[in-house]
Amino acid sequence: MTAVRWGVLSTARIAEDRFLPAMQKARNAVATAISSPNGRAAEVAERFGIATAYKSHEALLADPNIEAVYIPFPNSLHADWIVTAAEAGKDILCEKPMVSSLEDYQRVRQACAANGVTLMEAFMYRFHPQHQKVREYIDSGRIGQLVSMHARFHFVMNRTKSEVRLQQDMDGGALNDVGCYAIDIMNMVMGRAPHSVYGKGTSRTDPVETSVAAILDYGDVLGTFDCGFEGPRTHTFQIIGTEGQITLDKAFDPDPSETASGKVTYRDGRTESFEIGDDQFKTEIERFSAWVRNSGQELVHKSLTEENLAVRLALHESLASGLPRLVTDVHTVEYHLSQEQ
């Protein structure tokens, strides 16, 4: 299989620090072009051996040599650029969260379907093998019936004036930035969205919530998470079953150079541990490139994307009202939106 030729839209920090180094190791993908109106595209292109640097994203999208693009823009810009890239015939890997409204979800789905392109929300953590290991423990019944799940994702944010994750009109806030990981992993474990949610968010001085705690009610299983921009870095996940519990100490963003470890503690006191190292960005790039070449899916991991959006919307309502909220099926609301047009 020939390598998929990628274009990277912007010189965002995540592109430089994680995506492009991973791309250099990918077996079926190559970074062919990068674009940025801030004048840094040429510098980044030289550093990573990228053939072409564009001063505008539109110029990159017009390049017929580019097959797929990576979009790491601020959240509020995702939908418009997904639509623009789809209309240019490019397959699209868009950073999480892909969209923040049902209207935008409907727009990007229609644009990708109309132009026959593949789209995926870039939750890179899904591709780390530690989560396959967790799935094996659950499916084998070794920890019994699931009882509860608990996720934490915190880091101390550098509060600069240009920090988009602290801007309300950019769809910032802790829930969209790090809470979405906790939501996604619990939905992935359960294979469905919760029935209802209840969340509380706080902020000391910022216009967006910088700390969030929430309960996700799956009926027979409860999920809880807390996340934010205020405390020392931690990103853990714990699953408790009737016969044992699994704890991951680097559940969402282990550095490619470090090993992620898990511990299983059984009801009778026995323990097991496992250590797995991998570059989840590299695996994400390779898997998406394979989908681009072989399957032509419209939306990869469609159910997870829809469930994550539905839960975030319900939690934003809960944060605003101070009350629990039911999680509404995305398909139901999308149908009503289409009828209104």
pLDDT digits (tens, 9 = 90+) for 120-133: 999 999 999 999 99
For the chain, list residues with pLDDT below 70. Answer: 297, 331-341
pLDDT at 161: 81
Residue 5: burial class (beta carbons within 10 Å; 0-12, 13-18, 19+):
middle
d(CA 142, CA 120): 32
Q: What pLDDT is stored for residue 339 in this prediction? A: 52
Tell which CATH classification among 3.90.550.10, 3.30.2130.30, 3.40.50.1860, 3.30.360.10 matches the domain 128-278+313-321: 3.30.360.10
Tokens describing residue 79: 């939908």
In tens, the pLDDT along 238-270 reads: 999 999 999 999 999 999 988 999 999 999 999
pLDDT at 338: 54
The pLDDT score that the predictor gives to residue 295 is 73
Output the pLDDT for position 150. Answer: 98
- Between CA 309 and CA 109 the distance in angstroms is 14
CATH architecture of 4-125+282-300: 3-Layer(aba) Sandwich (3.40)
pLDDT at 225: 98
pLDDT of residue 332: 62
**Structure tokens belonging to residue 273:** 């541990």
Q: Write down the pLDDT at residue 60.
A: 98
Predicted TM-score (pTM) of this structure: 0.95
Domain residue ranges in the chain: 4-125+282-300, 128-278+313-321
Closest CA to 15 of 200, 285, 278: 285
